[in-house]
Structure 1
Amino acid sequence: MIAFFRLNDPYRLIGIFLLLLVLRLPALLGWIPALQPQLGWMVLGENLAAGDSLYEGIWDNTGPFAAAVYWLLDALFGRSLLAHSLLAMLVVLIQAAQFNLMLLNFRAYNENTYVPALIYTVLAHLFYDFYLLSPPLLCLTFLLLALRNSFKVIAGMGKDESLFFLGAYIGVAAGFYLPALAYLPALLFALLLFTGTKPRQYLLLLIGAALPLVSITLYFFWQDNLQNYYFSYFLSLSIFGTDNYLSTLFLLGLATIPTLFFLVGLYRFSSRNYTITQTRMQQAIFYFLIAGLIAIFFSAERSGFHLLLLVPAWAFYISHYLLLIRQHFKAELIFWGFCLLLVALNVLVLTRMVPELDPYIDTERLHVQPRPEQELVEGKKILSLGRDLSLYQHARLATPYLEWRLATRQLSELNYYDNLVDAFSYFHLDTPQVLVDDAGIVPQLFERMPTIASRYQQSSRFPHVYVLREKGVAAEDN
């Protein structure tokens, strides 16, 4: 495999496409379990396509550009897992190609090769939630374009427009995933160290970064939705608390295999002679890695797919390590060993073949769980109060309360008159047919809103479930 992609032949990208198709088969054939983040994005797209406004008609902290993608997919295909999977595959293909062509154009290695695209493609399947069409995946396309422009400036080929677009690409990336702003100071630092960029040009870069974000802000200002935009969009930073799908220990375990290979590649870089430009690009990639770690730290939700932000740096250094191995058989052996470790990791997590690892593998929060209330809510408009989104798999969301961290800021503080009025309005205008009270706050809600409470009957089978009465008669539990 390494020998095949080591040749400098653009047609090797066809091989990348075929490899990607094979690696994506589990997602395309529906073998990957349903995951909560994807379900949340699909519910978001569904409600936006139905006419709800982002951050006002539906409360979520997804970036506006990513939300627009989910809206468009639902408008075209409905709740289609296949559409999400195909678009995610296309995005990875584009990223692998642009990553490799960038390294070729700036001669980042001492030989021209398509091995970086190969390693990038393999690393983009590190864990099974990497298959998702996530905001970090979408924003990474523009971060790679920003990295390309930084290489252009470092190589002495960049002009004023290169710096402007470098900032603009980071601004667009932040429109998909706000913590991507961490890449701005990282690349600024690289330019400050390695180039003679003038203060005027730095100002141009900052204007480029601000332009997409100012445009987004003006849009929500014109929609009279600025306050909701502020509290929802900027709550996508972990300074307001985190909601982890996977534990920090588990995430560190996922990163262990590529990090070990990365460290070996980093060491091998330090033991070779390179041109000044190559050395500067290597250091810029390292700062790119640090920015990815900072972005993950500030992310309000953490799952395996957030590690996608580290894939370019991992792929850069691991490719270098493999290219320095002159014995082709040894390079192939190491590459296939690396691939087998990644496959074994996913198999172990999915099948729980080793019971001793169960205390360290906690994916319950990540997966959509089967619930006994599913039959009761199927096909209805419901509100599930709590972090678990599983019941929305076969139901639609009523009221704007999708993201629990945002919803609880209002629903747990109904002593404030504005919160009470808004909550009453939401329940009155978009009344849920079923209320599922995982958080245990419905009694407090009903106490503050007796006219809403009078419309519901507690389920006889599930004490935490409340069913809407129909024409004065309680709806049947089934």
Structure 2
Amino acid sequence: MLSFFRVNAPYQILSFIVVLMILQVPLYISSPDLLIPELQWMLVGEKMSQGFMLYRDVWDNLSPLSAAVYWGMDELFGRSPLAHRTVANILILFQAIYFNYISSERQLFTERNYVPGVLYILFLNVSFDCSTLSPALMGTTFILLAFGTLIRQMQREGVTDEVFEMGFYLSVATLFYLPMGLFALWTFASMLLYTGATFRRHTLAFFGYIFPLALLLLFYFFRNALDDLSQNLLTSAFRTRRYNFNDFIGVLGVLGGVFLIAGLGFFQTLSYPRFINYQTRIHQIMMLWTITAVISIGLMPFIAPMQFCVFIPPLVMFSVNFFMLMKRRWMAEVLFFSLFVILFFFRYQSTFLDNAFSINESTRLENLKIQPSLLPEQIRQQKILVIGEDEGEYKDNFPATAYLNWELARYDFDNLDSYESVISIFDNFQADPPTYVIDKEKLLPVLFKRLPELGELYQPTQWKGIYQRKSSNLSK
């Protein structure tokens, strides 16, 4: 099978499509459970399509361009996980084809073939959540484009417009997924160490980077929402987070084999004497990429395999060397075929076997899956507010008020002794009143004491912790 993808022929693009389709068939036959982050992204798009403004009217730490994509998806397809997955697969295919193109066109490896592209597709299908339309996946697309521009600069002298273009791509990646802002440091370090870039080149790249960011700041400045942007996006990104160790175990269980192959390939790369100087510099740039990606883990809003999409290009780079530099061709064939079989087994067994095998519970992402039957049957297709962590209550309902993200909502709800917070809550209830309030944190009694006028509008229901807007006020 490895020998098939070593054939350098244009028809191999069709083989990429076939491999991706085969890997994705189980997810279309039996759709995996919707994850809470996926639902959150859809809800942001839904609120924006109703005319609410991100950060000012919708409190969430989603990056602006990702939110714009979800807004467009909601306008076109509504709350459709299938549509999101299809667009994600198109992105995966584009990334694989583009990475394979620059690998061949820029001679990143010792021979030109289609192994990089097929490995790219395989690695992005090690977990079902990697093929969701996540901000990390969308942002990685533009990091790849910046990488392609960077290596073109290594083969050219003088200043070209592509330097500005590279900074622009990095900025767009940042606006899709904020932790990717760290890759600006990776790019400028790579330019300084490996391209011999002049001060003028660095300046052009810098202006390319700040241009989209400046447009974003100007947009929110003229909408009088610069403080909302700062609080909900920038400040929240650098808050100290406590990650669950089991989440890291889950990621390691899913991606551990990929990291092992890439690690072995890295050592083979170090010991191979026939790389030209240019290829050696590419390997060093990829190592800087990996280091930057590791640092970005500290900025991830949650830990799941989908958040590690940005690791895929360097992992593919060294994994290709693992297979291509192996002296025993038959062993490379066996290992490559085994990789195919293992991935196909794990992808299909979860669909067709009742008791699907998994390394541990963390690899199934149980903590991120929407829990069934969280609310009574009567609370369906209603406007609700969840005071506390969202576990999927919004799946069959519509979000009300700006408080979509509980971490950000705590700015107000944890400060009910603050006049500004209480007024902010009242204004949000007035602007977009919920029919039901699910009070997980038991804060409504205190809030109603602070805001008697608001308390008169809601009454407790027969279900503990759930309040309903009084029928006489529903039309107001």
Give the TM-score category using the shorter length. Answer: over 0.9
- Is the contact between residue 262 and residue 318 of structure 1 (CA under 8 Å) also seen in structure 2? yes
Q: For residues 31-46 of structure 1, what are the structure 2 equivalents within 5 Å?
A: 31-46=31-46
Residues 230-286 of structure 1: CA distance to partner in whole angstroms, max 9, x if unpaired?
111114524343576962232233331111101110011111121110110111111
Q: Partner residue of 1:418? A: 420
Higher mean alpha-carbon deviation, 39-48 vs 428-437, is at 428-437
Whole-angstrom CA distance in 1 between matches of 2:236 and 2:342: 33
Q: For residues 386-465 of structure 1, what are the structure 2 equivalents within 5 Å?
A: 386-460=388-462, 462-465=463-466
**Shift in alpha-carbon separation, 1:121–1:73, aligned structure 2, 3 A:** same
Q: Partner residue of 2:49? A: 49
Higher mean alpha-carbon deviation, 160-169 vs 106-115, is at 160-169
Aligned residues: 471
Whole-angstrom CA distance in 1 between matches of 2:230 and 2:434: 27
Whole-angstrom CA distance in 1 between matches of 2:140 and 2:184: 13
Whole-angstrom CA distance in 1 between matches of 2:248 and 2:325: 33
Q: For residues 135-154 of structure 1, what are the structure 2 equivalents within 5 Å?
A: 135-154=135-154
Residues 57-88 of structure 1: CA distance to partner in whole angstroms, max 9, x if unpaired?
11111111000000001011111112111100
Q: Partner residue of 2:324? A: 323
Whole-angstrom CA distance in 1 between matches of 2:452 and 2:393: 26
Percent of counterpart pairs with the same letter? 28
- Is the contact between residue 246 and residue 302 of structure 1 (CA under 8 Å) also seen in structure 2? no
Q: For residues 51-450 of structure 1, what are the structure 2 equivalents within 5 Å?
A: 51-156=51-156, 159-241=159-241, 247-272=247-272, 273-325=274-326, 327-342=328-343, 357-358=360-361, 363-450=365-452
Counterpart residue identity of residue 255, structure 2: A
Higher mean alpha-carbon deviation, 155-164 vs 11-20, is at 155-164
Whole-angstrom CA distance in 1 between matches of 2:154 and 2:313: 18
Whole-angstrom CA distance in 2 between matches of 1:266 and 1:295: 21
Whole-angstrom CA distance in 2 between matches of 1:86 and 1:356: 27
Residues 87-117 of structure 1: CA distance to partner in whole angstroms, max 9, x if unpaired?
0010001100111101111101111001000
Residues 156-188 of structure 1: CA distance to partner in whole angstroms, max 9, x if unpaired?
367332221111111010010111011111122
Higher mean alpha-carbon deviation, 401-410 vs 288-297, is at 288-297
- Is the contact between residue 119 and residue 316 of structure 2 (CA under 8 Å) also seen in structure 1? yes
Give the 3-state SS of the residue equivalent to 1:325 in structure 2: coil
Higher mean alpha-carbon deviation, 244-253 vs 173-182, is at 244-253
- Is the contact between residue 61 and residue 235 of structure 1 (CA under 8 Å) also seen in structure 2? no
Whole-angstrom CA distance in 1 between matches of 2:157 and 2:464: 68
Whole-angstrom CA distance in 2 between matches of 1:447 and 1:243: 35
Q: How large is the RMSD of aligned CA atoms in angstroms? A: 2.3
Whole-angstrom CA distance in 2 between matches of 1:221 and 1:396: 29
Q: For residues 17-36 of structure 1, what are the structure 2 equivalents within 5 Å?
A: 17-36=17-36
Deviation of 1:347 (Å): 7.7
Higher mean alpha-carbon deviation, 289-298 vs 398-407, is at 289-298
Structure 1 length-normalised TM: 0.93
Whole-angstrom CA distance in 1 between matches of 2:164 and 2:19: 36
Deviation of 1:327 (Å): 4.6
Counterpart residue identity of residue 387, structure 1: E
Deviation of 1:296 (Å): 2.2
Deviation of 1:195 (Å): 2.3
Residues 280-329 of structure 1: CA distance to partner in whole angstroms, max 9, x if unpaired?
01111111111111222212222220111100011111112112235544
Whole-angstrom CA distance in 2 between matches of 1:245 and 1:220: 37
Whole-angstrom CA distance in 2 between matches of 1:266 and 1:464: 55
Whole-angstrom CA distance in 2 between matches of 1:30 and 1:236: 36
- Is the contact between residue 28 and residue 85 of structure 1 (CA under 8 Å) also seen in structure 2? no
- Is the contact between residue 246 and residue 303 of structure 1 (CA under 8 Å) also seen in structure 2? no
Give the 3-state SS of the residue equivalent to 1:415 in structure 2: coil
Give the 3-state SS of the residue equivalent to 1:373 in structure 2: coil
Give the 3-state SS of the residue equivalent to 1:266 in structure 2: helix
- Is the contact between residue 88 and residue 132 of structure 2 (CA under 8 Å) also seen in structure 1? yes
**Shift in alpha-carbon separation, 1:352–1:212, aligned structure 2, 3 A:** farther
Whole-angstrom CA distance in 2 between matches of 1:337 and 1:404: 44
Residue 466 (str. 1) matches residue 463 (str. 2): no
Whole-angstrom CA distance in 2 between matches of 1:277 and 1:435: 61
Give the 3-state SS of the residue equivalent to 2:339 in structure 1: helix
Give the 3-state SS of the residue equivalent to 1:57 in structure 2: coil
- Is the contact between residue 159 and residue 201 of structure 2 (CA under 8 Å) also seen in structure 1? no
Deviation of 1:354 (Å): 6.4
**Structure 1 unaligned runs (5+)?**
474-478
- Is the contact between residue 143 and residue 170 of structure 1 (CA under 8 Å) also seen in structure 2? yes
Counterpart residue identity of residue 145, structure 1: L
**Structure 2 unaligned runs (5+)?**
none
Q: Partner residue of 1:476? A: none
Higher mean alpha-carbon deviation, 313-322 vs 24-33, is at 24-33
Counterpart residue identity of residue 262, structure 2: F
Structure 2 length-normalised TM: 0.93
Whole-angstrom CA distance in 1 between matches of 2:389 and 2:107: 48
Counterpart residue identity of residue 335, structure 1: F
Deviation of 1:7 (Å): 1.1
